[in-house]
Amino acid sequence: MLKAGDKAPLFTLNDKDGKAVSLSDFKGKKVVLYFYPKDNTSGCTKQACAFGASYGRFKKLGVEVIGVSRDSEKSHVGFAEKYSLPFILLSDPERKVTKAYGVWQEKKLYGKTSFGVVRTTFIIDEDGVIEKIMPKVKPDTNAQEILDYLASKGE
């Protein structure tokens, strides 16, 4: 299980436009990497729209926002267009990155057990080290919680 202070697992995934994006592309920048279950679902839409609405504030702080789900690039295109999402969405259909970050976990819903993405956000510092892990975040408050955290650190 990853913890704050660990080196963030490196990865390369395609964005919605089929362009390869690597975590190493952001060396020297702080990254908010958030994992979510599925495009166009209620909670995921709330979370993405909250990040979209706050994106200007993240950019002013020099922070890049990246969302990751198992959805296809095509699904990400529609999701980003429908909600005018200005940040990077990455496609992880084989769950390699999702598993590397430990967010593919057993979940229980209505007494049924299954595996899925546990909504989790990682703040990765300029050197590629995990600064903070926010597990089981609330979709509508996650972006503001991160901004509050960054403000508390004087960023």
Average pLDDT over residues 83-98: 96
User: Would you state the pLDDT for residue 68?
Assistant: 98
Residue 49 annotated among the catalytic residues of the structure = no
pLDDT of residue 6: 97
Confidence of residue 79 (pLDDT cuts 50, 70, 90): very high
Q: What is the pLDDT of residue 71?
A: 94
pLDDT of residue 110: 80
DSSP string, 6-61: SBPPP-EEEETTS-EEEGGGGTTSEEEEEE-S-TTSHHHHHHHHHHHHHHHHHHHT
What average pLDDT does this structure show over 51-79?
Answer: 96
At 100-132, the pLDDT tens digits run 999 988 887 788 888 888 899 999 999 999 999
With a cut of 80, say whether residue 154 has pLDDT above it: no
Write down the catalytic residue from 32, 33, 44, 137.
44
Computed over every residue of the chain, the mean pLDDT equals 94
Q: What is the mean pLDDT of residues 85-92?
A: 97
* Domain 26-152, architecture per CATH: 3-Layer(aba) Sandwich (3.40)
Checking if the pLDDT of 75 tops 90, the result is yes
Q: Where are the domains of the chain?
A: 26-152
Altogether, the residues listed in the chain come to a count of 155
Give the dihedral sign, CA 136/76/143/125.
positive
Q: Is 62 left (phi over 0), alpha (psi -120 to 50) or beta?
A: left
- Kindly report whether the global pTM for this prediction surpasses the value 0.85: yes
Give per-residue pLDDT as tens, 39-58: 999 899 999 999 999 999 99
